Amino acid sequence: MTATRRALDTLAILLAILAIWEVLHRVAGETALPAPAETLSYLIRTVPTARFAENAAATAAAFGLALILAYGIGLAIGIWMGAHRLSGAVGEPILVSLYSLPKITLYPVVLLIFGLGLSAKVAFGAMHGILPVALLTMGAIRAIPPVYLRAARTLHLSPWQTITTVLLPAALPEVFTGLRIGFTVTLLGVLLGEMFASKAGLGYMIMNAMSLAQSKEMVAVAIVLFGFAALANALLLWIEHRLHQRV
Amino acid sequence: MTRIGLIRSAVIVTMIAALELACRTGLIDHRIVIAPSEMASALVTLLASGSINADIERTLGIIAVVIALSVVLGFAVGVVIHALPHLREALDPFFATYYAVPIFIFYPVLIAIFGLSPMPIVLIGVATAIVAMIIATLNGLDRVPRVLVKVARVHRLGRVSTALRLQLPATAPYLFTGIKLSVSYAFIAVIAAEFILSPAGLGRDISDAYTDFENRRMYALILFLLIVATAVNAGLHALDMRFAERRSGGGP
Amino acid sequence: MARDVHAQLAGVTRVYPGGGEHPPVHALGPVDLDLHKGEFFAVVGPSGCGKSTLLEVLAGLQRPTAGTVTFEGKAVSGEVADGIGVVFQEDASFPWLTVWDNAAFGLRRSGVAESKLRRRVDDALAFMGLKDFARAYPSQLSGGMRQRVCIARTLVLEPRLILLDEPFGALDAQTRLLMGDEVLRLWRQTGATVLLITHALDEAAMLADRIGAMSARPGCFIEIIETGWPNGRDSTIVAEPAFGEITGRLWERLRGESLKALGHSSLAQSAPPSALAAE
């Protein structure tokens, strides 16, 4: 009963958003903000095109690589700082400060180092994602009850076995939260990169559409990105809840 | 300073010194990164010349407006939503997803609607920061002990009085967390907007300096923004720690 | 009646080294203890006296600063010897595994045949009354049941020396008495040597063949009391007059030590503890 009610509520909110959109469209005019219905039909027509696919592939490539780096480096830093008390105590405030910095400020430096192109976007995206992964992984490891380590020794586990069969599962739920947030901010980083100095990707598509006053394309691509991010996040959240249930 | 604080300072100083050394010895190409000492002197020169004062005012001014709007409106909206549980339940999935989607992607749309004025920047800034404040307000109001409201009724306080004299102080720590986040998001969104596309402002300055190959100017501006952002965040964090002490420490 | 010495602590001291602002802490010793094969030995003492440290040194989880530890004739150092099982004070059940998988955990790693493993785990779970909860997760169980899961996990490895560190600390008084019966049953069934750490005098008096009363920090044995209980005892012996005598004797020895332990922690306050020390 409540599940259907919640679904209906969500539907109601979506309809409200569509209604507000329509009103804003009337006020702002066609060139500024297209109507919902037209945007939707434009979206349906554009997504299957080769042009869209190329740009989507470019974003996907940058995002995928950035994510691998963010996860790999973030996990490594998080595990080290979580296991090694001193490093964690020294490094945590540094990571927290870096996390709340407007990293877009450093994008030109990234461009200077990596040049224009894929590696700059990947680096920029990874820069964003490393921090939440590291911080939450560190927290997860610190939160492991010390008695687990002693129990592992009484059960005659080797260090490797202790890590894989005790520490990893114990830390997994919180580490996964870090991975979920890392996913989000890495995507944002890649898109920001594409919006500034790039000739490919969905972020570039939006900026290009803006410069050509193609408002339908702007909004349509934005909606696709929104949808992707929302669905991915919902999926990751679902997994996260399942992991947290048992702990 | 504690032992850990000392180690941390030493680590930071060492890293900056290493960068300085690498730049001076030519290990790092000075067309890519300039030495920290050069960045600092370039910044001092720039500030002394007064040429970026207008941009500083504009950027920091916009950020201040964004913070004010996000905090006040966010709080107000949070209070309203908290009073309407059904609405809150309905909005829950949206709040959960809000920071998962790249809101910023709508910045070009806002430019298309409002043109190249401060307006789209303010709007994207508020859009980014306000939800953090709303969520923090909801959390804070959740944690107000029910007994406080009963005490208010015993003392026959009206709704506004109850809100201002009891609920607000009880919620304060959580609101402060919300403010911290809003400030952080405001900086990020406004500077990103100015960087991507804006007629003026520090972000635009950095972007111009990059495209014009003016490295010294670019790094000076980057350093300035990093110092301001770090100082503000650190200051708020220190305040938060002091409030936290008063909250949990002390007492019989 | 000379019985085999199963495990031995000789002149064992443990000093926790200081670090930074903290001075070193002389937590335990010197302690001499001979554990006889198959006996049930309880250690009681005021908080902070080093009982847990003694258990961890005996188990091999910590190295003594001085003295020797032997188990079955071999020296114990730095790693937990095969044949020693430990049940900790805190809940060490793994929340991501079912009760069954928790119990099977230690045995899985040692390469025992699957059928043998299955039988041992099923037996241990049945013995601890957890058969019906094999598929449940620890988070769905009460604190007492989670401890039973930990005990089952230890039992599966068929330890010859079982060390229990205040395993029932978090439970209410009645449950503790019943769990005491369980431990006695476990002890008789396995024939293992059992060392139980507890701060509850009645628990020690009811369960043990011998009780070591420990002084305040640094902990040393003030007296070792023989209870003389029959093997087939259970919690109903609390009604025996001898029980009252034993508990009385323990408190007599430990009251002063407990006051001392309290005195240590009140050093931070200004009031001198001299009045308390007057005996």
Q: What is the mean pLDDT of each run of 10 residues along chain B (252 residues)?
A: 89 95 90 92 94 94 97 93 90 89 91 90 96 94 80 77 78 90 95 93 94 93 94 90 65 38
**A108, A115, A129, A110: which is closest to A66 by C-alpha?**
A129
- Strands in A6-164 per DSSP E: none
Please tell me which residue of chain C has the smallest CA distance to A164.
C109
Confidence of residue A247 (pLDDT cuts 50, 70, 90): low
| Count of domains observed in chain A | 1
Contact B7 A86 (CB under 8 A): yes
pLDDT at position B145: 79
Amino acid B19: pLDDT: 94
- Across A115-145, b (16+ Cβ under 10 Å) vs e yields eeebebbbbbbbbbbbbbbbbbbbbbbbebe
- As a whole-number percent, the residues of chain C with pLDDT over 90 amount to 48
DSSP letter assigned to residue A10: H
Flag whether pLDDT at C270 surpasses 70: no
Q: What is the pLDDT of residue C187?
A: 92
Mean pLDDT of A223-244: 92
- Shortest distance, CA A225 to any CA of chain B (angstroms): 8
For residue A57, the domain's CATH number is 1.10.3720.10
Mean predicted confidence (pLDDT) in A47-63? 94
As a whole number, mean pLDDT of residues C89-106 equals 91
Which residue, among C170, C256, C276, C246, has the nearest Cα to C214 in the 3D structure? C256
Nearest to B93 among A10, A112, A218 (CB): A10
Task: For A115, name the nearest residue in chain B, comparing CA atoms only.
Answer: B32
Nearest residue of A to residue B112, measured between CA atoms:
A32
- Between strands C161-165 and C84-87, the pairing is parallel
Across the interface, which of C80, C88, C109 has its CB nearest the CB of A147? C88
Which of residues A9 and A151 earns the better pLDDT score? A151
Can you give the pLDDT at residue B24?
A: 92
For residue A14, tell me if it sits in a domain: no
Check pLDDT > 90 for residue C44. Answer: yes
Strands C221-226 and C210-214: antiparallel
Contact A225 B105 (CB under 8 A): yes
CA atoms in the 13 A half-sphere facing the CB of C228: 6
- Show the tokens assigned to B41: 């002197």
CB contact under 8 A, A90 and B7: yes
pTM of the model: 0.82
Q: Which runs of E-coded beta strand occur in chain A?
A: none
pLDDT at residue B59 in the model = 96
Per-residue burial over A101-112, b if 16 or more Cβ lie within 10 Å, else e, is bbbbbbbbbbbb
Q: Is the pLDDT assigned to residue A179 strictly greater than 80?
A: yes
Q: Whose structure tokens read 């507000």?
A: A20
As assigned by CATH, the class of the C5-83+159-277 domain is alpha beta
Say what the pLDDT of residue B189 is: 95
When pLDDT is averaged across residues C71-91 and rounded to a whole number, the result is 88
Q: Which of residues 44-73 of B touch A (CB under 8 A)?
A: none
Asked whether A37 and A220 are in contact (CB, 8 A), the reply is no
In this structure, which amino acid lies at residue C194? V
Tell me the C-alpha distance between B190 and B121, whole Å.
6
Q: Token match 């476990």: residue? A: C186
> What is the model's pLDDT at position B250?
39
Q: What is the pLDDT of residue C234?
A: 85
Domain that holds residue A73: 53-246
Percentage of chain C surpassing pLDDT 70?
Answer: 93
B34-248 CATH fold: MetI-like fold (1.10.3720)
pLDDT-based confidence at C17, cuts 50/70/90? confident
The SS3 of residue A40 is: helix
Q: In angstroms, how far is the first alpha carbon of chain C from the final one? A: 37
Give the mean model confidence (pLDDT) for residues C174-183.
86
Is the residue at A3 inside a domain? Answer: no
- DSSP H/E element including B133: helix B118-142
What CA–CA distance (Å, rounded) separates C143 from C149?
10
Q: Which residues of C touch A172 (CB under 8 A)?
A: 96
The ipTM value here is 0.88
Nearest to A247 among C61, C91, C96 (CB): C96
- A96, part of any domain: yes
Q: Judge whether residue C2 has pLDDT over 50.
A: no
How many contacts, defined by CB atoms under 8 Å, are there between A and C?
Answer: 58
Q: Which pLDDT value is given to residue B248?
A: 57
* Cα A184 from Cα A66, distance rounded (Å): 12
Tell whether B108 lies on the interface with A, counting CB pairs under 8 A.
yes
Domain range list for chain C? 5-83+159-277
Q: Is the pLDDT of residue C15 over 80?
A: yes
DSSP chain C: ----EEEEEEEEEEEEPPBTTBPPEEEEEEEEEEEETT-EEEEE--TTSSHHHHHHHHHTSS--SEEEEEETTEE--SSPPTTEEEE-SS----TTS-HHHHHHHHHHHTT--HHHHHHHHHHHHHHTT-GGGTTS-GGGS-HHHHHHHHHHHHHHT--SEEEEESTTTTS-HHHHHHHHHHHHHHHHHH--EEEEEES-HHHHHHH-SEEEEEPSSSB-EEEEEE----TT--GGGGGSHHHHHHHHHHHHHHHHHHHHHHHHHGGGSSS-THHHH--
DSSP helix/strand/coil, A155: coil
